[in-house]
Structure 1
């Protein structure tokens, strides 16, 4: 048995305590970074531009450093959250469902835009012979990303409801990867028609990035739940509350709130819950897109 004199014991204890403090400080420092990303439904530069004021606002409200990391595709946003490489992600309804299923119910949707309670997709074309969904038979068509709610899942759902199977009844289908890319494909004549989310369509029209006299909407879907900000269930409850409260406090009456809400194309943010996306999950399973 090794016996230590009191001075030696005190020195050893001090060393152990110092190491513990340094370790705890390192852990606390690591937890002060909020790692954020979003599904790449628009170009990386546009996503960064939209997020910058929101990121600064969240840093101010939470006292944390906020880092936005673009991901290469929709699947990477799901993988990043459930493998603890990301702390919060802007998901579409379908990607939230994928993340929630993959994690065994360990993903929590915090807030959504008020507009996301009744989100819609639009079908667009330059072809003068296309006026309704049934007219797409034998035509070429572009969805957005395969994992997109508003650019694939729900457009496919409404096509199937119209007795039109895109895989067998269309001449060719493509996946552009993003909503703005779908508009470019239709406008450029690469496909006869395409589907995308109504928010991006309206933004492109307002920004004069597309001429609605040449590229026209011929069908708008009924509403469905879509986008939300999600975190893992194991996030510190205090941090989760700070983030939620920050979103709910955004108000268009302040210059800061007005800028953020306009960039996010939101009237305001409201609380949401996993149960809101049960219909999206059912649509995905019925379409064979959720294994």
Structure 2
């Protein structure tokens, strides 16, 4: 090999090693797509900037198209951290042993689902489960959503002692909470299940027409969203890195950033906080 070719060969190897090293030190995260995509990109782009400054490493946010894709990216090691719902977080941690729930929103300690109905149905708000939804058309959110599928399906099954497909004349899955509101408001479905914070956010933004859609019932409280970190984070980024991530999340105090979730603050979380979610998912066979 000539000296020129040898130098060229070594240069290519050096660039490859540098690229590998850069990748190895990039901390990557994703989030379940529970709202309009443009909103998520703005929110988590800002989170990436915040974490990069706090952790002292490059941080990238990777958007995904579905709840299942978020779990898959976490399982395959394409991301080290994810903003999951209660169910997707449980699913991810079961697939990646050693992974831990680090932090949850203050509100996620006592989350709830709203059942909403198009006003043409005549359904009105009640503290009792609305038996009159039987026979109507109904949409959940994503198939992997805690607030948009798991918890409302649990209460539907408990009340009617039948699966949703036998309770309603037609069952759909909108894909996200914003779309659920839009579909019920437009009359594409009579009734739907929606994350209460997304409802309140859309209402405040003027996207909900209360002449066309209203809340008719809300579930009891349950734990929901959380930040989950892969169990190999310290091995990849150095001893104590997981604690640094947890501290950065819990100490996030930028009002604008918190409002984008929207959350009052983030508080420490633990895997055991989501035992009831796992048990509920197993009860209706969403986890086996």
The two structures have a TM-score, normalised by structure 2, of: 0.87
Question: What are structure 2's unaligned runs of at least 5 residues?
Answer: 1-12
Q: How many angstroms apart in 1 are the aligned matches of 2:107 and 2:123?
A: 32
Instruction: Give runs of ≥4 in structure 1 deviating > 4 Å.
Output: 20-28
Alignment match, 1:197: 195
Aligned in 2, Cα 1:129/1:265: closer, same or farther, shift over 3 Å?
closer
Alignment match, 2:91: 98
The answer to whether the 8 A contact 2:124-2:215 is kept is no
Alignment match, 2:112: 120
Residues 1:160 and 2:157 are matched in the alignment: yes
The answer to whether the 8 A contact 2:160-2:167 is kept is no
Q: How many angstroms apart in 1 are the aligned matches of 2:43 and 2:204?
A: 16
Cα deviation, 1:15-45, whole Å, max 9, x if unaligned, reads xxxxx99998665532321111101111221
The answer to whether the 8 A contact 1:120-1:224 is kept is yes
Q: How many angstroms apart in 2 are the aligned matches of 1:234 and 1:211?
A: 47
Equivalent residue in structure 2 for 1:266, among 263, 267, 286: 263
Q: How many angstroms apart in 2 are the aligned matches of 1:285 and 1:266?
A: 29
Equivalent residue in structure 1 for 2:56, among 52, 60, 63: 63
Q: How many angstroms apart in 2 are the aligned matches of 1:230 and 1:288?
A: 23
The answer to whether the 8 A contact 2:123-2:216 is kept is no
Q: How many angstroms apart in 2 are the aligned matches of 1:62 and 1:218?
A: 44
The answer to whether the 8 A contact 1:134-1:164 is kept is no
Shift of residue 107, structure 1, vs aligned partner: 2.1
Shift of residue 203, structure 1, vs aligned partner: 0.3
When structure 1 is superposed on structure 2, of 122-131 and 193-202 the one drifting more is: 122-131
Residues 1:175 and 2:173 are matched in the alignment: yes
Alignment match, 1:16: none
When structure 1 is superposed on structure 2, of 238-247 and 258-267 the one drifting more is: 238-247
Aligned in 2, Cα 1:181/1:153: closer, same or farther, shift over 3 Å?
same
Alignment match, 1:222: 220
Q: How many angstroms apart in 2 are the aligned matches of 1:27 and 1:274?
A: 33
Alignment match, 2:244: 242
Alignment match, 1:15: none
Q: How many angstroms apart in 2 are the aligned matches of 1:21 and 1:114?
A: 47
The answer to whether the 8 A contact 1:82-1:99 is kept is yes
Residues 1:285 and 2:282 are matched in the alignment: yes
Q: How many angstroms apart in 2 are the aligned matches of 1:101 and 1:83?
A: 13
Q: How many angstroms apart in 1 are the aligned matches of 2:69 and 2:123?
A: 39
SS at match of 2:160: coil
Alignment match, 1:52: 45
Residues 1:87 and 2:67 are matched in the alignment: no
SS at match of 1:241: helix
Alignment match, 2:3: none
The answer to whether the 8 A contact 1:133-1:162 is kept is no
Q: How many angstroms apart in 2 are the aligned matches of 1:107 and 1:179?
A: 27
